Amino acid sequence: MTVTWERKRCWSMSRSTVLSVCLLATIGWSQGRPGVIELKSAQELKGRIMNGQDIRELIGNVHFVQNLREGGFVNVWSDRALQFIADERLELYQRVRVRRDTVTIFADEGVYYGLQRRVVMRGRVRLERTGSVLTSSDGEYFPDERRAVFTGSVKVEDSASVLTSDRLTFWESDQRSIAVGDVRVRQLSDGTTVFGDSLINLDAEDRSVVPRAARMLQADSTSDGGVDTLLVASIRMESLGGAERVLIASDSVRIARTDLAARCALAAFYTGADRIVLSGDPVVWHGRNQLTGDTIEIRLRDRKLHSVLVRGRAMAVSRADSLRPGRFDQLTGRRITMRFADGKVQQIDAEGTATSLYYLYDDAAPNGANRSSGDRIIMDFADGQIDRIKVMRGVQGEFLPEKMVNGRESENNLDGFRWLRSRPTRIGLTMSDAETP
């Protein structure tokens, strides 16, 4: 180790003198001053007076330690450092490293403020902690508060997800972080990406929340080599970990993909089980069909639509005739199940006081309607059209002649009928749409 003290000239020192100066310098910096920055090592030390300030330049394996107010230490390393004695400030250069407990932060350069116990870091900032790595352009760390702030191309990676944002604040003590500015979180297991203007992550609870302007995107490959994208927009989204990961979208939820659209107040996406549960006045559209009820469960197999289960005041409606906009085929029950094959409706099964209204045609000419009821009604489809209707147990039926139907369609609608025109589209689910209920 070499030590040089500069005022107007330099002196060379023997090895024993050098060690004595280093020891005296270390004692002088720390004696009687709890929390002062303490030099642990350096290969070369030069001292000078600059603008009336004592400055020490340290080169090679530089290591400082400072006691923290609430106990413990913060360690600071670099290849080169300038120490400003009066204000206890360190300018750090090359391979900067700051560590407290399990958190280590790396950077190209930085400044450590001993009085404030604060370090500002610049250039390829990197935070490493158990299970995750954060990178950014700039960072600021407050070891006493166990708080760090990162800005500029922030990226957090772990085994399950990748998060990017403009800014992120991390609280080590309660394992909490808040990301703001163009936030995106991509789940590696299922390709789901969540977007928002901010995100609160609670590691200890395995939970994260996008409090406003939330969106979700999930892209799947189709059998013909294309891509089918599921888009979800809502005011708020929350991800819950545990045995089964659940993503909950709430407040003005809108869902759209090629073969399906929905609206509701609350939607729970069970990604591992391939199912979506909708509540809060839910509505689901598939082709010409509309489903409503108290709750609706969408079931998928290999990301393909398998069935839709409607519970409580269940109703299925489809437009019967494009030339006669007032005519709708209708089916009600306590529970309705719509089953699919190759992306098309295969069967609709209504149970519990089931009632149907089905319009009849003689070739293309309208020919009245049938109203039927029973314990259970099953409608089978062929090529997207009703092929057969089966009514079971407690059967009652009524034929309505055309003269009793024409112009009076609304009078014959089943109880609870409504046809909604607010069907979401993927084009419509933009960020501006997500911000506006």
Question: Is residue 320 included in any domain, yes or no?
Answer: yes
CA distance 414 to 411: 9
pLDDT tens track for 299-326: 988 778 899 999 999 999 998 888 888 9
Domain assignment of residue 396, yes or no? yes
Q: What is the domain-level CATH number for residue 409?
A: 2.60.450.10
The pLDDT profile of the chain, 437 residues, written as one tens digit per residue, is 444 434 333 333 333 334 334 433 443 344 435 567 889 999 999 988 877 788 999 999 999 999 888 778 899 999 999 999 888 899 999 999 999 888 899 999 999 998 888 999 999 999 988 888 999 999 999 998 889 999 999 999 988 889 999 999 999 888 899 999 999 999 888 788 999 999 999 988 889 999 998 999 987 655 555 567 889 999 999 998 877 789 999 999 999 988 899 999 999 998 777 899 999 999 999 988 999 999 999 998 877 889 999 999 999 999 888 888 899 999 999 999 999 988 889 999 999 999 999 999 998 899 999 999 999 999 998 877 788 889 999 899 999 999 999 999 999 999 999 999 889 987 777 543 333 32
| Number of structural domains the chain divides into | 1
How much is the pLDDT for 119? 94
Predicted model pTM: 0.80
Instruction: Give Cβ neighbours of residue 189 (< 8 Å, ≥ 6 apart).
Output: 160, 271
**Average pLDDT score over the chain:** 85
Residue 281 lies in a domain: yes
Give, as one character, the DSSP assignment of residue 414.
P
Inside any domain, residue 418: yes
Instruction: State the pLDDT at residue 259.
Output: 82
The answer as to whether 151 is a domain residue is no
Domain range for 327 is 257-424
In a domain, 371, yes or no: yes
Smallest CA-to-CA distance from 128 within 152, 154, 156 is with: 156
Q: Is-contact 339 371, C-beta < 8 A?
A: no
Asked whether residue 350 is assigned to any structural domain, the reply reads yes
Is 90 inside any structural domain? no
pLDDT tens, position by position, 187-232: 888 788 999 999 999 988 889 999 998 999 987 655 555 567 889 9
Q: Which residues contact 298 (CB under 8 A, 6 or more apart)?
A: 260, 262, 275, 276, 277, 278, 284, 305, 307, 308
